[in-house]
Copies of this chain bind each other. A is one copy, B any other.
Amino acid sequence: MSSIRERNKELILRAASEEFAEKGFAACKTSDIADRAGLPKPNVYYYFKSKENLYREVLESIVEPLLEASAPFNQPGHPGEVLRAYIRTKIRISREHACASKVFANEIMHGAPHLSAERTAQLNAQAAHNIACIQSWIDQGLMARVDPNHLLFSIWAATQTYADFDWQISAVTGKATLDDSDYEAAAETIIRMVIKGCEVQEPA
């Protein structure tokens, strides 16, 4: 069908993710996005109407995966299982949606001026739920009395950092890109600090 349309939109979206991630919204030019997509600049406007619109679509593309990452919190489970699954999924998002993750981080850093109120509310509601969940585990004696807010902030930060600060991580490790075993080591380090650090009880 409208295969050309779909293909071009996809090409532009991918190119835009990369450009926005690399330089940020204001610093990147639509002509660079078009060039990277291998299409003339007016096509970008034809399909997306404006630079801001295109940016918003890139931003939206990461919200769904981020909300889904909290799925383990939305069904009953032992704290250890839930936290492990959550951390692994967060790390996977940083790896598989690296560009969009970085765009999202940038957006949040600047006060989320382009994120719809609805999306903001969804994300905040999910965060509140996760925090309440952790608090209930603490109240049940299933883990130590840590502040659930700060625990969650640490998990977010430690997992997001692999997308956001990939340049720094490359500089320090000397590896241009991390491989499976590096991501595995990252996940295990974070999981260890959370599980052991917060004395999360394993099911009997």
What range describes how many residues of A lie at the interface? Answer: 35 or more
Which residue on chain B has the smallest CB distance to residue A167?
Answer: B111
The interface residues of chain A, by DSSP majority, are classed as helix
Decide yes or no whether A124 CB sits under 8 A from chain B: yes
Residues of B within 8 A of A69 (CB): none
Complex-state Cα separation, A109 to B162, whole angstroms: 10
Q: Smallest Cβ distance from A17 to chain B, in angstroms?
A: 14
Complex-state Cα separation, A109 to B107, whole angstroms: 12
Which residue on chain B has the smallest CB distance to residue A172?
Answer: B127
Q: In the complex the two chains form, is A22's CB within 8 Å of B105's CB?
A: no
Decide yes or no whether A62 CB sits under 8 A from chain B: no
Residues A128-158 near B (CB distance < 8 A): 128, 131, 144, 146-147, 149-154, 156-158
Q: In the complex the two chains form, is B161's CB within 8 Å of A156's CB?
A: yes
Residues of B within 8 A of A160 (CB): 157
**Chain A 152-193 against B: per-residue CB contact (8 Å), 1 yes, 0 no?**
111011101110110111011100000000000110111011
Which residue on chain B has the smallest CB distance to residue A195?
Answer: B197
Given A24-B26, A26-B26, A168-B108, A189 and B157 contact (CB-CB distance below 8 Å):
no
Decide yes or no whether A106 CB sits under 8 A from chain B: yes
Q: Smallest Cβ distance from A93 to chain B, in angstroms?
A: 15
Complex-state Cα separation, A128 to B150, whole angstroms: 28
